Amino acid sequence: MTKTKIRAFPIAVEGWPFAGIALGLTLVSYLFSFPVATFLFGAISLFILQFFRNPERQGSRDEKDILSPADGEVIGIELTHDERFLKDKAVRISIFMNVFNVHVNRSPCAGVVKKIVWSPGKFFAANAEKASLENEQNAILLEHSSGQRILFIQIAGLIARRILCYVKEGDRLEKGERCGIIKFGSRVDIYLPAGSEIRVRLKEKVKAGETTIGQFR
C-alpha cells in the first residue's frame, strides 16, 4: 500500500495503534464478562475512532480560492507583520481545533513547499494568543503558482503534544492534499498575503480542504 493510499484511509494511520489497543481491551472485557470495563473501553474506542477520522474532502477548484488548512473554529483574524518567514504584512487567521474536530491538516492551495521549520516551545492552551509564538510548532511556507506565498503553522496545545508533518521542502502539493496531523486538540494559524479577500468571520466553523477562507488578488 502506498503512502498516498495510507493517508487516505478513513482512520488516520497515526490512530491505528490507539484504536487497536482500545478495541482489543473491549473484546477481552466482553469475552470475560466484565460489562463495566466493556462499556468503558468501548467508549474509549469510539472516541479514538472519531478523533482520528480522516474523511474525503472536496473544496473549490478555483486557483484563486484559499481553503482552510484545519477543521475548527476561527478564533482570530488580524492584519499583522510576520517577521519570521514572510518578512511582510499578512492577514493571520487562527483556527482552534477541539478534541471533536478532524485533526488531519490539508494544504490551503496548490504550490511548492519552500520551507519547513519546526520550533520547540511551551504547551499553553491553543486558544490563548501567546500560543502563536510561544508553543511548539511546525511552520510550512508554500509558494503558489502566482508567486504569492502562504504560511501555515501547526501549533501544539495544552494536551496536544505531537505534531506530525507529512511533507518536505521541495514537495509540490495539490490544493486540499493531506499534509500533517496534530494529536488531541490544537491550533493552526494561516497567514494570507495582505490584500487577500477574506471569506470567513470570527467564530465561524470551518473544514480543512473544503471551506474557502480567502482568495488571492
Q: Could you give the CA distance from residue 32 to residue 28 in angstroms, rounded to a whole number?
A: 6
Of 45, 107, 132, 186, catalytic: 186
Please say whether the beta carbons of 210 and 177 come within 8 A. Answer: no
Determine the 3-state secondary structure of 8 from DSSP.
coil
Amino acid at 126: A
Which one-letter DSSP state was computed for residue 34? -
Q: Which residue has the cell 520550533?
A: 119
Count the Cβ atoms, other than its own, within 10 Å of residue 118: 12
Count the Cβ atoms, other than its own, within 10 Å of residue 79: 11
119 is catalytic: no
Please say whether the beta carbons of 75 and 94 come within 8 A. Answer: yes
User: Could you tell me which residues come within 8 angstroms of residue 90 by beta carbon, excluding any fewer than 6 positions away?
Assistant: 79, 80, 81, 82, 151, 191, 192, 193, 194
| Catalytic residue ranges | 186
